[in-house]
Amino acid sequence: MEWAILPLKKYAVFTGRARPKEYWMFVLFMIIAYFVLTFVDAALGLGGTSETYSDMGPTKIGGGFANTGGLLSMLFALGTIIPSIAVGVRRLHDTDRSGWWLLIGLIPLIGAIVLIVFMASSGTRGENRFGPDPLEPGAPAAA
């Protein structure tokens, strides 16, 4: 759990490097928290809609509910946008890339694929232009 909330402790720290574990545990935490909050929004009636697909007309077939989130999930998304960007920048720094590479995600499909490859690749060993290797024993402690 510590790895998942570490980017929240480093709320707006855009310098340094982030280990793959720090980044991916935070992504997992964000996905789980968003789904839980969306469910709570729907349960409390704060979500966008709770109509079943079959009630929406002949063009939408299948089971399930269409819920676009609500107040809680929106506040969560707004509150975590800065740490999400910051940990993404630090993860790119670990692969010896500028944080500006995050903007490639604005290109539909291709940008997301490129970012996933960058984020999944291992970091550069040893010190790079963005700081010491976070995996080395002599590196500053994360927190």
Residue 5, pLDDT score? 85
Q: Which candidate, 5, 19, 8, 1, places its Cα nearest to that of 86?
A: 8
Residue 140, pLDDT score? 56
Distance of CA 47 to the CA centre of its chain: 22
Cα within 13 Å of Cα(116), Cβ side: 5
Residue 36, pLDDT score? 92
Instruction: Report the C-alpha gap between 107 and 94 in whole angstroms.
Output: 22
Spans in the chain with pLDDT lower than 70? 48-68, 137-143
- pTM score, whole prediction: 0.79
Q: Which candidate, 116, 137, 127, places its Cα nearest to that of 16?
A: 127
What burial class does residue 26 get, using C-beta atoms within 10 Å of its C-beta: 0-12 exposed, 13-18 middle, 19+ buried?
Answer: buried
Contact indicator for 21, 27 with CB cutoff of 8 Å: no
Contact indicator for 82, 11 with CB cutoff of 8 Å: yes
Residue 81, pLDDT score? 95
